């Protein structure tokens, strides 16, 4: 019985970490590319993510010292790779923070514009001020809040489903636009990625599972965790795109305003704002520590860079939510996937004198192609 409880606790942490701002962009992606195209991407990208997560998990399980990705890269690869992974992690976190700043401001705008007026940019700035102050003060991790919000997400999803079900049109799911065939890749990769949480998951499971049972439990959790995330995302797409059709918006919720009761829509906006705010805090604290501890940047300077660089990028005009998370997913997380593959290669060589399967080089090639296509399309 204890085994089941610990496994479910670890699974909840995994799901609460992975499911974030990306969920709000998925219905719009489905509207642009077509549901069938997005469904195919979910199958393929889920396989890619499970593969990378499991490679990283085997490194974590097989290494005596407890690290995070930069530490493992420093142990098995060269200092160059360690510097590269710092840059990649920072790029991914900056992209995520910018995305939360954009969509958090849009949700606040939707809540308060009818009362006070203003612009989405103004509300993004209002979103930013308390978040930056809390990061400066150095609050502790709010993982418990994230888990609570994950449970709230499931409740709200079913409320939305109940309200939107009479308006769902199956014909919306039959369309596809191959001009946008590459469009979903980065967004879906961004939405499913969660390798950073693997060391924490291993620590939770190791309190109950030992050796071979730990390995099996961790592998099972990664598979079911990614699959469950994908199913939740597809359910959200089914609700929003299935009822909104061509009226689907980038933030997903706004497009439901004519179909769902106003109070429920406001609940969705409030929930979205809180989710974005807590995730912004969590990621900002992580990035501040990366700059502070790993790059030896003074704490206050690290805070300024962490919080004000995304704000600067926002006011320089980078406000395209879908494009931001697509670029972050395809480029930053694609690079992270490549690094994990080469990390695993050196791990096998150092510990077991074995070579990796050639299939992993094909997976690395997929990430490389995804990076190239996304950069060409972005610029």
Let me know: does 49 contact 241? Beta carbons within 8 Å.
Answer: no
User: Domain containing 45: what range?
Assistant: 2-378
Report CA torsion sign: 356, 361, 367, 368.
positive
| 75-121 tens-digit pLDDT | 999 888 888 898 898 899 999 999 999 999 999 999 999 889 999 99
Dist CA 166 CA 263 (whole Å): 18
Dist CA 111 CA 269 (whole Å): 7
Please name the residue that has the structure tokens 């995304």: 310
Let me know: does 244 contact 206? Beta carbons within 8 Å.
Answer: no
Dist CA 314 CA 128 (whole Å): 11
**Could you give the number of structural domains in the chain?**
1
If we measure between CA atoms, which residue out of 253, 255, 254, 236 comes closest to residue 244?
A: 255
Report CA torsion sign: 78, 79, 80, 83.
positive
Could you tell me the CA-to-CA distances from 201 to 17, 56, 198, 232, 300 in Å, in that order? 11, 12, 5, 20, 31
Q: What is the largest CA-CA distance in the chain?
A: 66
Is the model's pLDDT at 349 over the cut of 60? Answer: yes
Is the model's pLDDT at 270 over the cut of 60? Answer: yes
pLDDT category at 283 given cuts 50, 70, 90 is: confident
Dist CA 91 CA 287 (whole Å): 10
Q: Residue 74's domain is classified under what CATH number?
A: 1.20.1740.10
Q: Could you count the other beta carbons within 10 Å of the beta carbon of residue 116?
A: 10
pLDDT category at 142 given cuts 50, 70, 90 is: low
Q: What is the CA radius of gyration of the chain?
A: 20
Return left, alpha or beta for 26; rule: phi > 0 is left, psi -120 to 50 is alpha, else beta: alpha
Burial of 270 (0-12, 13-18, 19+ CB in 10 A): middle
Six token digits for residue 335: 């690079």
What is the model's pLDDT at position 83? 86
What is the model's pLDDT at position 124? 96
Is the model's pLDDT at 140 over the cut of 90? Answer: no
Let me know: does 84 contact 9? Beta carbons within 8 Å.
Answer: no
């Amino acid at each position: 019985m204890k085994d089941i409880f610990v496994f479910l606790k670890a699974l909840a942490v995994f799901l609460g970490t992975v499911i974030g701002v990306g969920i709000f962009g998925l219905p719009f992606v489905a509207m642009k590319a077509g549901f069938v195209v997005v469904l195919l991407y979910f199958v393929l990208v889920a396989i890619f993510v499970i593969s990378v997560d499991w490679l990283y998990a085997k490194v974590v399980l097989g290494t005596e010292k407890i690290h995070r990705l930069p530490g493992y890269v420093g142990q098995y690869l060269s200092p160059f790779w360690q510097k590269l992974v710092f840059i990649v992690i920072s790029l991914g976190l900056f992209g995520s923070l910018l995305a939360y700043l954009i969509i958090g401001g849009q949700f606040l705008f939707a809540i308060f514009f009818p009362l006070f007026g203003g612009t989405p940019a103004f509300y993004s700035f209002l979103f930013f001020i308390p978040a930056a102050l809390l990061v400066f003060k150095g609050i502790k991790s709010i993982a418990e809040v994230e888990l609570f919000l994950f449970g709230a997400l499931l409740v709200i999803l079913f409320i939305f489903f109940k309200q939107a079900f009479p308006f769902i049109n199956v014909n919306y799911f039959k369309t596809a636009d191959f001009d946008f065939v590459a469009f979903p890749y980065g967004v879906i990769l961004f939405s499913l990625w969660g390798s950073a949480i693997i060391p924490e998951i291993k620590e939770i499971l190791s309190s109950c599972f030992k050796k071979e049972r730990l390995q099996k439990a961790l592998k099972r959790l990664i598979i079911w965790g990614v699959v469950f995330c994908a199913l939740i995302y597809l359910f959200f797409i089914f609700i929003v795109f299935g009822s909104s059709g061509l009226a689907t918006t980038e933030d997903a919720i706004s497009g439901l305003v004519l179909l769902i009761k106003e109070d429920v829509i406001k609940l969705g906006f409030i929930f979205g704002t809180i989710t974005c705010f807590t995730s912004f805090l969590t990621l900002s604290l992580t990035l501040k520590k990366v700059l502070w501890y790993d790059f030896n940047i003074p704490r206050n300077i690290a805070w300024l860079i962490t919080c004000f660089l995304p704000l600067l990028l926002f006011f320089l005009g980078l406000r395209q939510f879908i494009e931001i998370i697509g670029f972050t997913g395809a480029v930053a997380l694609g690079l992270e996937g490549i690094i994990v593959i080469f990390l695993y290669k050196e791990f096998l060589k150092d510990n077991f004198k074995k070579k990796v399967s050639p299939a992993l080089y094909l997976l690395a090639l997929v990430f490389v192609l995804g990076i190239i296509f996304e950069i060409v399309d972005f610029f």
